[in-house]
Structure 1
Amino acid sequence: MTSTTLEPTSAQAAPPRPKPTSAFSAWANRHRKWLFAAPAMIFVAVLIIFPLVWTAWLSLTDSHGSVRAAAKFIGLQNYATVLTDTTRFWPAVGRTVLFTGVVLVFEVVFGMCIALLLWRPFKGERWVRVAVLLPLVATPVAVGMMWRLIFDPNIGFANQVIGWFGIPPQPWLAGQETALWTTMFIDVWQWTPMVALILLAGLTSLSEEPQEAAKIDGASTWQRFWFVTLPLMMPTVIVAILLRGIDALKTFDILYATKGKGGGSFNEVETLNVYAYGLSFDYNQYGVSSTVLILFFLLIIGVMWALTGRRNKKKEA
């Protein structure tokens, strides 16, 4: 009897052994999310670090006239000059802080009111949303030019309106005492919708259970907002303050579009941004301008640190 040897078929063949994974491949697989994001992160880091380092270096020199001209290293002399300047620098710091603080208060308060209005569905809600978002459509320069015409003391529509009520014409942007407050109004008009959108997103993410429980306990509408909604919304409110606060600190386009060089003839709306711009492009004092920008950068970092710390405390609580 002859024995027959059966050859294995393709279906019966042993599965191929997996190739050994190299150490680099294993490491890359574990850190793939960072590797994919690394090019973008490096690109952004270069865009931020190089200008910052270059500006810091210029602040330690007497660079002026031209950025290509030879500059002499003078150490902290520019910082001493700027920090003792009570004519332009410190008034600009005061206006920057005042401008940011005032617009933040009004934008957060009005933004919360708008967000609460849009929180619940109502008839015509779509049209109201479109109307609320209209100020965000135009660029800040266009908004500044539009309000400059509206507040013109001679042909402006604003003085015509208040004239209907027997109020005498106001200087608005032309007055030393009213110019800064008028630019604050313009900023609030344009950027309140953005704050409202952030707060509305936070409101829509809240659970309905705390509201229902407070309503069953007999809490009024104001009590439900103050003791239930607002505490739950505080992390979102702090985020809105952080985002809008940093942007308000850096406001330049509206101020320059409405008042021009130097923030007006008497520097009435000259903030740190406008001051640094004038030093660079009007007087070509690049070393002093870089010093102002570095100090401005430190101010922004301080505000971010304070608000971020406040947010972390709220999370821990």
Structure 2
Amino acid sequence: MLIFPLVWTIYLSLTNAQGSVRAPKSFIGFDNYIDVLTDTERFWPAVGRTLVFTVGVLIAQMVLGMCIALLLRRSFRGQGIVRVAILLPLVATPVAVGMMWRLIFDPNIGPANYLLSFVGLGPFSWLAGERTALPTTMLIDVWQWTPMVALILLAGLTSLSDEVDEAAAIDGASTWQRFWFVTLPLVWPSVLVALLLRGIDALKTFDILYATKGRGGGSFHEVETLNVYAYGLSFDYNEYGVASTVLILFFALIIAAMLALTSRTKER
């Protein structure tokens, strides 16, 4: 299930396969890799967008997820309703979420600009703008997947004993000091698990980007990440050899990120 697709993709990346999967193809060695790695027009900008998207959503989701987890850690009235409401974005599929936010951010009929007009802001291009499209898709991803991060961190927080925190409070530590020097080190394994799961998933994001911007990540490729780029090469242009090369390089990037986070986990 795993080895054959990987080996077949590696094989295709070493050929000039295009037009049709059954079409004759020739072995060309590492020519595709040279062409892709020297492509400063599409490939490297896609790498940059992939990294910006991943790092940006990870930072936002970890900060917001920790804040939500800390709020939900203590019991309060209506806690069950609040938890269900926060977890609702996880129920919807990414494609449905993308289509929903595409309507919300529509520059003509979307409610986003309409609501901002009451406070004298906007109108903004949101998904239609060349510079605003990527941050907007990042916002959508943060909205959907922050609850999952909060859920993981909440599981780690609820397993902690209150005695250490109470002892630090008695010794005169402030709320921030207790969080930074007591709570965060104790819950760090859960933080790394959330980073690992969401980091790999954010690198592979495709559904939301394609649902909101379509082919090529938009007219100016403003949200074209490596996933979107490889999809376009395969199904829009039928360049299977080049697409396989991009996917192998993308796979190597994911493995490198996973190994980096895993080694960090072992160190902690």
TM-score (norm. length: structure 2)? 0.99
Q: Secondary structure at the match of 1:164?
A: helix
Cross-structure match for 1:48: 2
CA distance in 2 between counterparts of 1:56 and 1:204 reads: 45
% identical equivalent positions: 75
Q: 2:207 aligns with which of 253, 257, 273?
A: 253
CA distance in 1 between counterparts of 2:122 and 2:162 reads: 50
Matches within 5 A, 1:158-177: 158-177=112-131
Residues 135-144 or 231-240, more deviating: 231-240
Of structures 1 and 2, the one with the larger relative CO (CA 8 A, separation 6+) is: 2
Could you tell me how far 1:219 is from its partner in structure 2? 1.5
Cross-structure match for 1:115: 69
Cross-structure match for 2:133: 179
Could you tell me how far 1:218 is from its partner in structure 2? 1.8
Q: What count of residue pairs does the alignment treat as equivalent?
A: 268
Is 1:288 the equivalent of 2:256?
no
Q: 1:96 aligns with which of 37, 50, 59?
A: 50
Larger Rg: 1
1:277 partner amino acid: Y
Deviations 1:118-175 (A, max 9, x none): 1011011011001100100110000000000000000110000110011131110000
| RMSD, aligned CA | 0.6
Could you tell me how far 1:264 is from its partner in structure 2? 0.2
Cross-structure match for 1:130: 84
Cross-structure match for 2:173: 219
CA distance in 2 between counterparts of 1:121 and 1:48 reads: 44
Cross-structure match for 1:194: 148
Could you tell me how far 1:209 is from its partner in structure 2? 2.1
Cross-structure match for 1:208: 162
CA distance in 1 between counterparts of 2:260 and 2:122 reads: 43
Could you tell me how far 1:235 is from its partner in structure 2? 1.4
Structure 2 portions without partners, runs of 5+: none
1:58 partner amino acid: L
Q: Secondary structure at the match of 2:119?
A: coil
Structure 1 portions without partners, runs of 5+: 1-46
1:63 partner amino acid: A
2:128 partner amino acid: A
CA distance in 2 between counterparts of 1:116 and 1:237 reads: 13
Cross-structure match for 1:106: 60
